Structure 1
Amino acid sequence: MEIASSSTEVVEIFEWACRKALSWAHTGGTIGPVNVDETRPGGTGTGVYLPSYWAGYAHRSGFYARDFVHQLTGAHLLGLDEANLTMLKCFAASATPEHGHYPVWAFNFDGSYLAIDYRGPDRFVREIPAVFELVEAGETAYRWTGDSVYVDDPVLHAFYRNTTGPFAATARGTGGGIFDGVATYNELSGEPLAEAGDAMAARYAAYLAMAGLGHDSFAGEAAELKRHFNQVWTGTGSGKDMIRGYTVDGRGVTGWGGENSVFMPLKGLIDAGSRNESYLDFVDAQGRAENVEALTYLPDVFFRHGRPDTAWKWMREIFAARNLPHVAGGLNGDYPEVPFTLVSQVVTGMLGVRPDAPRGTVEIHSTLPAEVDWLKVSGIPVGRGHISVRCEHDATTLVNMSADVTYTWDGVPIRPGERRTSDSPGPAPYGG
């Protein structure tokens, strides 16, 4: 992809993020160490790497479920579709009955389990939101690539059905540590949660994803979960007083919960209206985190809800912190989730590109920050072809760069080599 913009800052961030993200990728057949971590810097041997990329700490030799799902769109945009599919299938295949239909939390680049997070079939890291997010990741990859393998592959299909069926019916946090199974991505709170806002939100998104993968009945499941969440689960409070989790003894918890607060608007689970807007204000005010990983979600939250200036503020803050020390060692900019998400946030956030490659359609709902007059990214991969999108505050131009693919935009076919400009659809939040 190539970028141009009235903002040299956007260009600098995007070009840095593309270079940095690609530096974390492996081609299949690479020979490298396995089971590298802070206690074993030399690892336990070597393996033949799968097509893959770092998704997790740079001082560990593997990829993690939580990081992978958030990096998948950026990876697609950078041409890493083979790695995305390979990594997703690793997680899906590991969600066996022996593992309680939980996928293994982390893999070495050769596809073996990363030892620091896996001690045995009943003793490995388990965080409920990641299980549901892996289903959403499959549907996201399907929309971007149009590859029917994400629908037809028996391993992926079984994982989707088990996760949104038997697993969803029984998934509860134990109130213990991450090796016991936790309800939230927030590993630092110490709250003994049985249910958490991020798990609820991820489950809702997984149901919507199932509908997008052709299982229409899940649209009704998603609607019912959203109704229950808004009318019962969250109580009657707003902002900091809204319930965002329940302990194992049934007590509702409010206030700031890190990821279990952020994910509720991130996935669009809160009904549109004053309660949603109040919670967005709360997230913006409380969103600081010691670990930069938690910050990488914030631009996505605010782009989703039509607040591009707030999203841009957080992108700039994340980029500005790239040379600061990371809490686990190294620099923030060396945490792979940082560059991968900045790439996707420019394309899906600022430009607002929303593909449906299986149907050959593209939606564009640009949400440019006020200080960015125009932005163009060319070479965006959608299905078997590529597009160029230029957005201003009052107009959008799409160019079909493909040789043999026709896209439909706003109901109008755009054939290979054609361009079309229209009044910008403007902000069209799809959450809430």
Structure 2
Amino acid sequence: MVLLKYKAALLLFLFIGYKTIAQEKGIIFNSSDKELVESFNWAKETALHYKGADTDPVGPWYESALPPRSAFCMRDVSHQCIGAEILGLSRQNTNMFNLFAENISQSKNWCTYWEINKWAKPAPDDYRNDQEFWYNLPANFDILYASWRMYLWTGDRHYIDAPAFVNFQQKTVKEYIDAWVLAPDSMLKRPAHPNAPVPYNENDSFHRCRGLPSYSEGVPNLKTGADLVAALYRGMHTYSEIMATKGKFKEAALYEQKAQQYRKHLEADWWNEKSNQYYTYYSNNNQFGMQEGETFLLWFDALKDTVRANKTIKRVAASRWNVENMSYYPFLLYKFGNWEKAREYILFLSNPSTARREYPEVSYGIIEGVVQGLMGITPDARTKTLSTIYKTSNADNAAVTNLSLLNTSINLAHLNRQQSIITNTGKTSFKWKAMFYGSFQRANINGKAVTLKKGTDDQNRMISFVEANVAPGQKVNIKMY
């Protein structure tokens, strides 16, 4: 007990005293769990190693593709962007998202460039001309979803209001769906290559994969992937949220209805009762099959049947796919309540013996897994609210310093599972929703008793919480009893 109190006191000292150092060195993570600290520090150093030069022709960027290409790919950027934002790569995110949004075009059947390199060109590994290129169809919806998450995290409305983004949104939820035959009732009937070059060459990957209907690239003869259905659901739901934020409630209702149509098809058409899992692809031979795509059902948060979702999470957690796929696990497993497994994957992915751990998605995934996963940091620019909840079953403590979000910056320390301290080190106020697992009876804010509220998380775990406004320069200490 004395040792735990000493560690908590030391952490609080670090939390307060390292403010100047943190501002010089970017985000710092500290914890009594030294293995996690070591993994985070490796991930931070590795991720920042992939930061490109501002003087490169493409402008500010970071590596988010196979490193030899010096490029950034739509799928990888959609996954890495929050980790990048945590690391202070805001200008890079803005520039890269702008380029994807600006390059959507009718000549590419409302695709943009799948991959852009540091020379400001579509990467030649994936592009020959507007008729011959590689493109995975979930990508438009992934970028749409990622730009929304960037707005929620940063408070920067550029990600949803700038003309290029508005055009990208509109073309993605309308013309793109029509061009690629992606209506809800068309997913099992659509042609394999609706926009193939003429003449078509099956042996040319820029013909065969011009509109690959999945992120699973190793499945031959593919008509539709379950991850594409999930991406469509998330894309329509995201556009609905954007419309609601802009006060366009009629359009918001219309696109939420479209979103639910995709989700209903996912549940009705893709669940295998015999094996109790989702099929992940449907072939041109009209046969369902299973591969690695289940991860994206969770990434796009498309599973609302709790029993099926839990079975999927358990199976994903037990699967050792490629590192690109596993790099999603830290954040997802924290999100869906499998905390110990999430920690296990952070340590596994950062281990020197893990093959291809240097792939950029891995380090960025660990950063997001620690900050948004373990620390439970979730900003929402719509209400200027920052929610936090410590996701651990142990008597550990943890802190992050110099974290930018919601047009301000914070230091946050979880001293244990019933006490957290936050300091607003920036210039913008926000509302702190401080959540704690368990059914507590009393709460103090800076030593004063306040009324607490209760609820549950998505896994129906009991939560106690209080809310407090945090002004610039203010420190707030919340403790549950």
Normalised by the size of structure 1, how large is the TM-score?
0.84
SS class of match (2:29):
strand
Larger radius of gyration: 2
Q: Any idea what the Cα deviations from partners look like across 1:202-228, whole Å, max 9, x if unmatched?
A: 222222322332342333332333233
Q: Which residue is equivalent to 1:227?
A: 264
The Cα of 1:121 is off from its aligned counterpart by 0.7
- Quick check: 77-86 or 162-171, which moved more? 162-171
2:104 maps to 95
Q: Determine the C-alpha separation between the residues in 2 that align with 1:140 and 1:251.
A: 35
Question: Counterpart of 1:314 in 2: which secondary structure?
Answer: helix
Displacement of 1:27: 3.6
3-state SS of 2:67 partner: coil
Equivalent in the alignment of 2:327: 296
Residue 313 of structure 1 pairs with residue 344 of structure 2: yes
CA contact (8 A) 1:357 1:382 kept: no
Tell me how far apart the structure 2 counterparts of residues 119 and 414 of structure 1 sit (CA, whole Å). 52
Task: Report if the CA contact (8 A) 1:358-1:383 is conserved.
Answer: no
In the alignment, residue 115 of structure 1 is paired with which amino acid? P
Distance in 2 between residues matched to 1:387 and 1:220, nearest whole Å:
38
The one-letter code of the counterpart of 1:413 is N
Classify the secondary structure of the residue corresponding to 1:306.
Answer: coil
Q: For 1:116, what is the secondary structure of its paired residue?
A: coil
| 1:157-176 deviation line (CA, Å, top 9, x unaligned) | 11111112222342467377
Of residues 22, 27, 48 in structure 1, which corresponds to 2:48?
Answer: 22
Give the gaps of 5 or more residues in structure 2.
1-26, 183-189, 194-201, 245-251, 434-466
Separation in 1, partners of 2:473, 2:278: 51
Aligned-residue offset at 1:186: 1.3
What SS class does the counterpart of residue 53 from structure 1 fall into?
coil
Indicate whether 1:181 and 2:218 are aligned. Answer: no
TM-superposed deviation, 1:84: 0.7
In 2, the alpha carbon distance for the partners of 1:205 and 1:74 equals 20
Q: How does 1:192-341 map to 2 (within 5 A)?
A: 192-215=221-244, 216-217=252-253, 218-230=255-267, 232-235=268-271, 237=273, 241-253=277-289, 255=290, 257-258=291-292, 260-285=293-318, 287-289=319-321, 291-320=322-351, 322=352, 324-326=354-356, 332-333=357-358, 335-341=359-365
- Supply the AA of the counterpart residue of 2:422: V
Paired AA for residue 432 in structure 2: W
CA pair 17-10 structure 1, distance change in 2 beyond 3 A:
same
Q: Which secondary structure state, in structure 2, belongs to the residue aligned with residue 55 of structure 1?
A: coil
Within-5 A mapping of 1:18-417: 18-30=44-56, 48-169=57-178, 170-171=181-182, 174=192, 177=205, 179-190=209-220, 192-215=221-244, 216-217=252-253, 218-230=255-267, 232-235=268-271, 237=273, 241-253=277-289, 255=290, 257-258=291-292, 260-285=293-318, 287-289=319-321, 291-320=322-351, 322=352, 324-326=354-356, 332-333=357-358, 335-368=359-392, 370-371=393-394, 373-391=396-414, 394-410=417-433, 411-417=467-473
Deviation per CA, 1:279-312, whole angstroms, max 9, x where unpaired? 2222223x212x3112101223211211111111
- Relative to structure 1, is the Cα distance of residues 185 and 377 closer, same or farther in structure 2, using a 3 angstrom cutoff? same
**1:351-372 superposed Cα distances (whole Å, 9 cap, x missing partner):** 111111353211113322x346
Alpha-carbon distance, 1:238 to partner: 6.5
Match of 1:429 in 2: none
Q: Which residue in 2 is equivalent to 1:44?
A: none
Q: Give the superposition deviation at 1:141.
A: 1.0
- Which AA in structure 2 matches 1:25? K
Q: Secondary structure at the match of 2:420?
A: strand
What's the CA shift string for 1:92-122, capped at 9, x where partnerless?
2222000011121111113211112101111
Secondary structure of 2:212 counterpart? coil
- CA–CA distance in 2 between the matches of 1:352 and 1:6? 17
C-alpha distance in structure 1 between counterparts of 2:192 and 2:70, whole Å = 29
Q: 1:16 to 1:264 in 2, by over 3 A?
A: same
Aligned equivalents of 2:223 and 2:398: distance in 1?
44
Percent of aligned positions with the same letter in both sequences? 23
Indicate the residue corresponding to 1:418 in structure 2. 474
- DSSP-derived class of the 2:135 partner: coil
C-alpha contact (below 8 Å) 1:373/1:393 kept by paired residues: yes
- Residues 375 and 390, structure 1, Cα contact 8 Å, conserved in 2: yes
* TM-score computed with the length of structure 2 as normaliser: 0.76
Alpha-carbon contact 2:280-2:288 (below 8 Å) kept: yes
The answer (yes or no) to whether the contact 2:213–2:222 under 8 Å persists in 1 is yes
Report deviation, 1:398.
Answer: 4.1
SS in 1 for 2:66: coil
- Alpha-carbon distance between aligned partners in 2 of 1:238 and 1:140, rounded to the nearest angstrom: 36
- Counterparts in 2 of 1:227 and 1:420: CA distance versus 1, 3 Å: farther
User: Structure 2 CA distance, aligned partners of 1:73 and 1:146?
Assistant: 13
Measure the CA separation in 2 of the matches of 1:208 and 1:306: 23
CA contact (8 A) 2:412 2:423 kept: no
Output the amino acid matched with 1:198.
Answer: D
Q: CA deviation at 1:268?
A: 2.0
Q: 1:8 aligns with which of 28, 34, 50?
A: 34
